[in-house]
Structure 1
């Protein structure tokens, strides 16, 4: 059974850059760094078969598996023993070599018991050849270089193992879950804290795995512990709030709603159950359980301080926002209709604070401000609307607002030289020479010599281009006077 939270959709206007970066990092490591494993393994097998070690190790491997089954109670290895015996019977030297070389526990067993397993001469021959293959090839495989080996634990491998994967199926599955969970947690925590929490969960997951695999030489690789941490953070962030979960059982799938945190013990219980009863599947169940506990624990312990959820995470979805906007906008327009201008202004300001991208609100605030052109609100809103018009590439509206301000507000609070200069540039681009000249006169009267001289040169060049020599001569005279 598979249960996945499915409460949110991705907002591609604000992409989850860290999640996408983590996915890309895992993919690049797999494609470029781990791609050398096949070559290393082929060379190791070639040297292994040439050395004749298989004749020594194959019988010892059967005995090793038989001991693990009979004395250590590892009944799940019966199938492994049967498969290896079939390989020997079919004389499948290549696949036998793969089995023998890729079992690090068996290698340690041989190191410790070679004097018991073989005569002195054979044991010495094995040691010289096998150790060389191990050091020159096997230890250079990505999993042994940067994977998490419980018997040889180091700080850096607690991070690096999270970016390694064992095959295409492994990495594709992890990347899908990383994306499904990551974009929501990244939105909740913010990019920096999300990345740090992700890596910490992976490290804690690795420590839990190592605690249950003390002395093991089998390396752990994969992002599943970190992703389990995301699952723990996800449900802890929502807490008792009911959210949607997608579930899959056999060929049947559906959705259900439940308090988010109620699913956490189900996930943890499933991983612990599988650890004890699923047998040797190659899945690091305790790493998953450790990640789940680590993720939820971090949010519970630090959710009011370092891992506090950002306010915008709880903003309503777009449909709900539209409904709120429509209601608020209707109330503000009703106030306008009753000529309650102060109330309408406050209502439009409140809406504009939450919906700054809606130009209609700024236009209403501008129209209300120009009822009192003597107050500072009018030039403020005029500049905002001019800037907004330019950002929306509507230069005509910018010029219209500027001209209206000249007639209503300029006598009370003149615009700055920079404002007139922007209008001049815009007018020239629109080939509106009348507005450009008008803007130049306002700029000239502002007393800014540098901007005036530059604007004069632009007008000369434009009039020369249009072969309007009298106009060009006029502005050359003005420039010489400066």
Structure 2
């Protein structure tokens, strides 16, 4: 089961610097500090296979597997070793991961001091362990049975493969940038590190004798996922899920994700078969992250950017109420639609779509002050794109028709509107306004510029007669103006 939240879009004007830094640090460590890990580990494995260790250890381990009933037929590892097949390597990896067997092996309970090859075994086993330690992952990964306190932190920045790194970094980015905005950079980084430490602590508690190094940021990222689910809480978020051959998007309260993620980790841990994935660390991270989220919400709510978290909820509410208002308008329930859109406009005063719908419903009462006020707001909206210019032009034409020409626009606003129409290639309405102003306010500032724009508009419309007419008029009527020059 694969579940990932896709609620927020990143704002690159305010990039998530800590999230990006974490990704860069993890990538740098893997590609530049761990660059020789594969070769060093291969050297250690080759040493093991070419030493006397398989001859000494494998018989005891295969006997253990037979006694447990994990194998039904003897493993001919000697022949496979001679043929240089992968089976001895796989058997070695399985043995190294077998906590119960390795605990006894290290305690000299398998190869005892009475064993005829004990001295040789101890020398070569120590050499093998030393070679493994040269690998950064083995040296600085967290090994519960041989832990050093520095590895509680260093393991978070190490990865076992490119696929391991990429998978973790994708989840870190998707979940991380949202939490960084919601909590702030300092708190976000602090919780990331606390989550990683909590994850490895639970792993240590469950597997105290393991000598296989735990590496990867997934415990810390799991903490971010738990934190995400409790920070968003009951807010409905959009997430993507993939189950067997089925996938889809769904919207549900974020808190549900915590239980789905935990269920998935427990299922994989108990019934998912043998795996190198540290499901216990994931569980520890999820629980720790969820606890941190509840703590900050209950004790330090001022640290949470609730406005950012509520954006989608408010957006959904806006869409729902907008659709309700439009449905009321279609049903000609004018007063109810008017009340709905007036309330929406009060809450979203800069929303152009709501303002346009309010304008449409107010057309049913053109004598009202609200109608004229909203119309003027729409006519003065900024934007030089073709769609906005066309909308402003259409609203003006409609306004003139609805009011019978009794518009409430000041002369100064009219000349600006006429100039705008001329520059947007709507010369008819521009001409209509400017001629009216010439009759009523012949000395109005801005008229010369408006008429010049009108002349150019007619030229673009291939009407040379009108273009020349207004150019000549500007020179005769406003000879001292900049437009006449």
| TM-score bin (small chain) | 0.5 to 0.7
Instruction: Identify which of 466, 469, 472 aligns with 1:470.
Output: 472
- The range that moved more, 318-327 or 381-390, is 318-327
**Residue aligning to 2:325:** 325
- Which residue is equivalent to 2:183? 193
C-alpha distance in structure 2 between counterparts of 1:15 and 1:274, whole Å = 30
SS of the residue 2:409 aligns to: coil
Q: Kindly report which structure 2 residues correspond to 1:436-447, keeping only aligned pairs within 5 A, or say none.
A: 438=433
Q: In structure 2, which of residues 214, 223, 237 is the aligned counterpart of residue 219 of structure 1?
A: 214
Equivalent in the alignment of 2:393: 399
Task: State the TM-score, normalizing by the size of structure 1.
Answer: 0.58
SS in 1 for 2:276: coil
Deviation at 1:191, TM superposition (A): 4.4
1:204 equivalent to 2:206? Answer no
Deviation at 1:349, TM superposition (A): 0.8
Counterpart mapping for 1:17-96 below 5 A: 34=30, 40=36, 43-44=39-40, 47=43, 54-59=50-55, 61-62=57-58, 85=77, 89-92=81-84, 96=88
Tell me if the contact between 1:240 and 1:260 (Cα under 8 Å) persists in the aligned partners: yes
Identify if the C-alpha distance between structure 1 residues 369 and 387 changes in structure 2 by more than 3 Å, giving closer, same or farther.
farther
Deviation at 1:446, TM superposition (A): 6.4
Matched, 1:334 2:336: no
Partner of 2:343: 350
Are the structure 2 counterparts of residues 224 and 40 from structure 1 closer, same or farther at C-alpha, using a change threshold of 3 Å? same
Q: Tell me if the contact between 2:448 and 2:474 (Cα under 8 Å) persists in the aligned partners.
A: no
**Conserved 8 A contact 1:148-1:220:** yes
> How much has 1:456 moved relative to structure 2?
8.1
Q: Does 1:364 align with 2:360?
A: yes
User: C-alpha root-mean-square deviation of aligned residues, in Å?
Assistant: 6.6
Match 2:278 to one of 284, 288, 300: 284
Structure 1 counterpart of 2:296: 302
Alignment correspondent of 2:157: 160
Return the alpha-carbon distance in structure 2 between the equivalents of residues 17 and 82 of structure 1.
Answer: 60
Q: Deviation digits for residues 140-198 of structure 1, max 9, x if unmatched?
A: x5x866x656524547547535xx46464x6798799889xx68x988x7943399398
In 1, distance between residues paired with 2:84 and 2:182? 51
Instruction: Name the counterpart of 1:408.
Output: 407
Shift of 1:335: 4.3
Q: Structure 1, residues 392-424: CA drift from partner, whole Å, max 9, x if none?
A: 71424423545758852135xx555xx854652
Report matched runs for 1:174-189 at 5 Å: none
Residue-pair matches, total: 439
- What is the CA deviation profile of residues 223-270 of structure 1, one whole-angstrom value per residue up to 9, with x for unaligned ones? 3663475367548856699x999896x99999xx99997996797578
> Where do 5+ consecutive residues of structure 1 fail to align?
337-342
CA shift in 2, pair 1:191/1:394, >3 Å = same
